[in-house]
Every structure is written in structure tokens, then in C-alpha cells.
Amino acid sequence: MTDILLLWHMHQPRYVHPRDGRHVLPWVRLHACAGYLDMGRALERHPGVRVTVNFVPSLVEQLEDLLAGQKDDLERIAEKHADELDESEQRAVLERCFSVRWDRAIAPRPRYAQLLAERGKRRYGPAELRDLQCLFLIAWLGFAAREDDPAIDAMDRKGRDYSEDDKRALLRAVRAAASRVLPTWRKLAQSGQVELSTSPYYHPIVPLLIDSDVALRSRPGDLLPRRFCRPQDAREHVQRACVAHARAFGVQAKGMWPPEGSLSPEAVDLYRECGIKWLAGDEETLARSLDGCAATSHGPLGAGTSGKWTAARTRAWRFAGVDLVFRDRDLSDRIGFRYSSWPAQDAASEIIGAARSLGERGEIVGLFLDGENAWESFPRRGEEFLEALYGSLEREAEASLLVPRTISESLAERGPGQELTHLHSGSWIDASFRVWIGDPDKNRAWKQLDRARERLAAAEATHGSTAFTERARNLLFIAEGSDWFWWFGEPFSSAEDAVFDELFRAHLQEAWRALGDMPPEELLEPIERSRLAALAAPKALLKPRLDGKADRFFEWVGAARHDVGRGSTMAGSEHPVDKLYLGFDHHNMYLRLDPTRDNRRRIAASRMVLKACIAGRDEWRLLVQVGAPDGGAELSAIGGKIAALDVVELAVPFVSLGAKPRDEIRLWMTLEFAGVTFARIPRDGLLSITVPWPGWEDEHWSA
């Protein structure tokens, strides 16, 4: 008899802005009304199936916030009448409300597809914005929510012309579904059908917190940042998770899914010292831990693998007193990435057959994967597949072939795993840590984290534990989470890259402020400096009269324009500058800032710090006194000019930059008042222009 161990991992990073407590992104609320509730409902229908479900404390914390009435930015916007949305709110609706699977959610709904096709071509009216908001919520609501509220399907059939009452009903349906998530899982755990496990509190890569140089064990040639060694931070993440899990679910967690399946000998020691009995990892980590085992890159299940390796990966192991179970990569990835396009019963039959075949030479088969995102690509958000899979597993259990068990249950029955004499250090991706460290952008993030952590250590050494150091410590613990580093640099990217960048830096900035210091200037700049702001190239040479007057717009025709106010990474955030114009003649670079009406005086009295990188050389920096007639000593010394009234106009000679024709200039600027930086332009990334050359006008001529 073979145990099939299903482990579903439920995780979201903390989307709360540390400055004002706003829940910036809606994904906890939306996953709650879909995957989190759906997964529980599917198990309720099949009481003979036992599984392990891993809840990360940073997710549970936000689910509890939701139950307490907290609202994310997109929900607050949706609560307003569509006629009352300002421009930034309309922009947020357009940016967020197409964040669903096109083939499953948009294409089957003609009105949704029409709105997507017309996005960017014209301005949406209130009725169109309201339809978009309603269709977005309908697309997210899962099968359990629909089962509990038949009005959702009725509104889905309606298809268009939704009312404000319809929108309010959908918002209530989302919240009603979300409110049932934690009670559903508590009930399943109390019945014994589900084992609830957890992860270190904010989902850090524990081996890297203990010693970031551990990454060199799997990739010795990587260039890493300065060594980061905070084993006590790692320990506190684990200990906090154990306390939070017991409070939320009423039982102590016996095991953990270490974030991203990351293991190392030092990490396993730490988990054991914190009372953790089992950990789950990836089969490639096991393969690299065992001498003489075959590589695990296989195509069809079983192809190219030895009987010895099959037996090794279908049993529990033990290292440093902790039981280790390893995921079958092929089977797990089939569910996550392949079966969404298959008929549900065919997919279930194949996976059961493959697991049964593996079980002939082993004791356990581990299927460990994400429990939330995969279902967006399945018909009816995975309802048919889960029904087929769980139904098949119940029949297998009745025949004593494959028995679905929780991890602790299986380990208790089979006894301690076989001892591993060596444990490889790595994660579920390539059995390495390359996704979180080693890339220049990721290394830059580690550098900033390390600098802030050093400052906290100095404050604690001087003052001990205070309310201020505790706030800074918690902010830095959030910044130690894995998700920020996942999205920095290569290889992953998403529509929320800039949001993650800003949230990461905001936590570090607030940690510095909690300790009574101004944040380092580098934290005003995006971690991903390679990201350029959207900016068309200049189309003509300029001859502007620098007088600070807004009525001479024609002089800037041909300049590149950047809509600063439209670059917000956070819904609801405002910027004091509306637009920036950037252009040149053969001798000067010209900039024009158009402040919003309410910020003209503040900007006219500010300091501008202009920074540039020319042709990849070291950074160039210029301090400009915006309100001074000559722009201050530094601008005057290089022969630059400025005027600031309705708008700010600035000329900077190319020769002062050391820039030659055809050199690329990447630049950004900050605005300061009374020693405090209050704006960055662009909000994220860099602006870029290329110095014109003789003949540039002929090459760029247009009628």
C-alpha cells in the first residue's frame, strides 16, 4: 500500500503599505473568494481524502484583517459610484480589472472582451467602468461562492449593463466568501481530514537569512552581495509562525513547508531546535544529497530514471532529527502547468496511474504545489479536476491501493525516515537559490536590507529593545520575505514589479525612520534601475525661452513627454508633478516640470537633485535651487539656466555632463523641501535620451 501525500501551499506576501496601513493590492481578498474557499469545499465533498495544507502566517494575518473590516485600494474604489471616480481611480480600474486569465475569464464574456479590445483607444464612461468592475469580480468568484449564492451566476448571465446595486451585491458576495475561509479550514482540521502546517512568518528563504553565502554551494561562480548572517532573524520567523499558527487554528504545527522548499543543514538544525518535526522539499535537493543517484530531469514519468532512484524518492528521509519528505516534481508540475487543458477525468486517471506505478517500488508519493494560482487556468477554477481527482483517490483508498494521508499521519505509521548523511543546500528551483540572490538587482536589494539591518543591530546594542527598535525589527522582517527578491531582476516579471519594488523600499525607509534616521538616498531609487519610464524619443530640436510661463507650450512641441501623475505604482498615491518634458538642442538638455496647481509654490521653493548616468559611466549629480534666479551655485557654475513660475524650465549643457553625440543619458531627479525628499521623477525607473549628433534633424525630419 502506498501513501499519496498531497500538500497544498497557500501563500501571499504582505501587501500593506507601512506608511499609512493601506492594503495596496487586492489579491488576498480575491484569492479568498476563489481558491482558498474552493479548495476547502472540494475536500468537504470527499471526506475520505486526507491532505496537508500549508498556510503562511503573512496570509492568515491579512485574512484576519479582511474579517476585521480592512479594505484594499481596489475595493474602496469599487465602493464609489462610477460617476464619481477621479482620473487616478479610473486609471486603477483599467490597470487592475483585466488581471484575470484571458482564455478562461475574458474571452467567454463578450462584453469583457470588448472592453479589453477598446482599452487605450478611447476614454471609458461610467457605465463601461462599472461593467468592467463587475465582470472582474464575477470572473474571480469561485465555484464555492457561486454554490452558496445563485445570484452570482445570474449576474454572470446578464453579461453587461450592470447597476451600482449589482456592483454592491458582488462586493458583498466576495466578502461573504472570504469570511468563510478560515472557519472552513479550522473545521476540516478539527475533523482530522486536513493537517494544517505553516511556514516561517513572512516567508523568508531561511538558508539565506542564516548565511547568504550558502548560495555558493550550488552555484560557486555567482557574484553575491556582502555576506548576510542573521540566524536569529530566521529563528524568530519560525518561532513567530508557530505561535501565530496555534493562535489562528488552535493546534501546534508539526511540520512546515520551508519557503520555496529551501533546505540546508543549518536550516534543518534551526527548525529542529524550534520543535518542527517534518519539512518538505523538492526531489532534486534529495538527488543532490544522495551519492550515485540518477539525475531527475525526466520526461514521461519514469523515463530515464533508475529503480534505485525511484525507491529513493518514494520514501521519507531523516536529517538532524527532522523527517524530510520530497515532492515528485513531474507529477506536481503536471497539475500546476499541464492538466488545465485536459478533460478532468483523463487528467485524474493519468496522475493516479502514474502514482500507483511509482508506489510499486516505494512507500509514499509526494504531490506538493501551489494551492491557489493554478486553478485560474482550469475550467470552473478547477472544480471538475478536483472532483475527479478526489473521487478517484477515495476509490483507490477503498481498494487499499493508493491511500491519501496527511504527512504527519503517514510518518507516524511508517516510523522515522532513513538517515541522510549529507543534505544539499537548495530550493525547488534548480536545487539552488539563484531566484533570490546573485542577480545584480537582487544583490542591490540584499545590500539595502543588510545596511538597514546593521543600523538596527547598532541601535539595539546601544538602547536595547524599545518600541522603536521593535517596529524597525518587524519592518525588516517583512522586507526579508522571499517575494520581493523573486520579482527583482531576472528571470521573473509581472505587472506588479513596480509595486513590489516600492513596497520593499518603503519597509526599509520606515525602519530607518523608526530608528530616528533619514533613510539613505538610494532608497528613493528603484531597486531595478534598468527599468525605464515610458518616454517617447524627442522628435525635434528645441529653442525654448526659459521664463517659467505655462503659456509657451508650443516651444516644447517635439520634446519627449512623461506623464508623471500616471506613473503611480500605488492606487490613491498623488504626485506633485503632473508632466515632465525632456528635449535638447545640440548644446543643451532641456527639462520642463509642470506642477499640479496646488504644488506650484512648494516646487518653486524646493531643491532639485538631478542625477544622470552617461554612457554607462559613474553617476553624475547636480544640486539645483529651484527658486533661485540662477539656480544656485552648482547650476550657475556649469552655465545652466532655470526659471520657475507656473512651470519649472531648466537647461543643462551637455559639456557639463561629459556627454558626447550619440551618448545615452539615463536620468532621474528628486525634489526636497526643508531637508525632506517629497517627490521622485519619474516615480520608478529612469528616463532616457540620446544626445543628438550632426545630421540628427535630417534623420528625424517629419512633415
Looking only at the bridges linking them, the beta strands covering 676-681 and 687-690 are: unpaired
**pLDDT reported for residue 533:** 61
Q: Read off the pLDDT band of 615 (50, 70, 90).
A: confident
User: Average pLDDT of the chain?
Assistant: 91
Cβ burial 555-582 (10 Å sphere, 16+ → b, else e) = bbebbbbbbbbebbbbbbbebbbbbbbb
What is the residue whose three cell numbers read 554551494? 217
Tens of pLDDT, residue by residue over 636-665, are: 999 999 999 999 999 999 999 999 999 999
Closest CA to 531 of 390, 317, 688: 688
At residue 224, the 3 state secondary structure works out as coil
Cβ burial 174-213 (10 Å sphere, 16+ → b, else e) = bbebbebbbebbbebbeeebbbbbbbbbbbbbbbbbbbbe
Closest CA to 233 of 437, 449, 428: 449
Non-local CB neighbours of 222 within 8 Å, separated by 6+ positions: 215, 216, 434, 437, 438
Tens of pLDDT, residue by residue over 317-350, are: 999 999 999 999 999 999 999 999 999 999 999 9
CA distances from 387 to 195, 293, 335, 394, 451 (A): 20, 36, 14, 11, 50
Whole-angstrom distance, CA of residue 655 vs CA of residue 95: 41
Whole-angstrom distance, CA of residue 408 vs CA of residue 417: 12
- Cβ distance 486 to 435 under 8 Å? yes
What is the residue whose three cell numbers read 534623420? 699
In the numeric block, which cell numbers belong to residue 283? 526531489
Non-local CB neighbours of 468 within 8 Å, separated by 6+ positions: 459, 514, 515, 516
The C-alpha torsion from 118 through 123 and 125 to 130, rounded to 10°, is 60
14: Cα separation from own chain's centroid: 9
Q: Which of 361-370, 549-558, 621-630 has the lowest mean pLDDT?
A: 549-558
**pLDDT reported for residue 550:** 81
In angstroms, the first-to-last Cα distance of the chain is 79
**pLDDT reported for residue 302:** 39
Q: Which of 343-347, 423-427, 671-675 has the lowest mean pLDDT?
A: 671-675
Tens of pLDDT, residue by residue over 256-291, are: 999 999 999 999 999 999 999 999 999 999 999 997
**Residue 408: pLDDT over 50:** yes
Q: What single DSSP character describes residue 565? A: G
**pLDDT reported for residue 400:** 81
Whole-angstrom distance, CA of residue 310 vs CA of residue 296: 10
Q: What single DSSP character describes residue 492? A: -
**Residue 703: pLDDT over 70:** no
Whole-angstrom distance, CA of residue 227 vs CA of residue 235: 18
What is the residue whose three cell numbers read 516534481? 329
- In order, the DSSP letters of 16-78 are B-TTT--B---HHHHHIIIIIHHHHHHHHT-TT--EEEEE-HHHHHHHHHHHTT--BHHHHHH
- What is the percent of the chain where pLDDT is above 70? 94
Whole-angstrom distance, CA of residue 671 vs CA of residue 681: 8
CA distances from 56 to 24, 280, 692 (A): 19, 14, 53
Closest CA to 42 of 361, 392, 517: 392
Whole-angstrom distance, CA of residue 63 vs CA of residue 23: 11
pTM greater than 0.95 = no
Angle at 639 between CA 634 and CA 643, to 5 degrees: 80
Report the phi/psi class of residue 500: left, alpha or beta, with left for phi > 0 and alpha for psi in -120 to 50: alpha
- Cβ distance 203 to 482 under 8 Å? yes
Tens of pLDDT, residue by residue over 426-476, are: 999 999 999 999 999 999 999 999 999 999 999 999 999 999 999 999 999
Non-local CB neighbours of 701 within 8 Å, separated by 6+ positions: none
- Cβ distance 673 to 512 under 8 Å? no
Residues in the chain: 703
**Residue 535: pLDDT over 70:** no
CA distances from 422 to 38, 286, 393, 419 (A): 40, 9, 35, 9
Q: Read off the pLDDT band of 536 (50, 70, 90).
A: low
In the numeric block, which cell numbers belong to residue 173? 458576495
- Cβ distance 615 to 664 under 8 Å? yes
Tens of pLDDT, residue by residue over 54-82, are: 999 999 999 999 999 999 999 999 999 99
Q: What single DSSP character describes residue 204? A: B
In this structure, how many other beta carbons lie within 10 angstroms of the beta carbon of residue 26? Answer: 23
Whole-angstrom distance, CA of residue 203 vs CA of residue 272: 18
Please enumerate, as own/partner, the contacts of 130-134 that have beta carbons within 8 Å and a separation of 24 or more. 130/82, 130/162, 130/163, 130/164, 130/167, 131/160, 131/161, 131/162, 132/93, 132/94, 132/97, 132/98, 133/78, 133/82, 133/93, 133/97, 133/167, 134/162, 134/166, 134/167, 134/170
Q: Read off the pLDDT band of 482 (50, 70, 90).
A: very high
Report the phi/psi class of residue 261: left, alpha or beta, with left for phi > 0 and alpha for psi in -120 to 50: left
Whole-angstrom distance, CA of residue 610 vs CA of residue 621: 6
- Cβ distance 481 to 58 under 8 Å? yes
Mean pLDDT within 536-543: 86
Closest CA to 132 of 112, 158, 151, 108: 112
Whole-angstrom distance, CA of residue 19 vs CA of residue 459: 21
Whole-angstrom distance, CA of residue 501 vs CA of residue 417: 42
CA distances from 649 to 591, 631, 654, 657 (A): 6, 11, 16, 18
- Cβ distance 526 to 627 under 8 Å? no
**Helices and strands counted in the chain (H then E):** 28, 20
Map out the domains of the chain with their CATH numbers: 194-418 (3.20.110.10), 440-524 (1.20.1430), 553-699 (2.60.40.10)
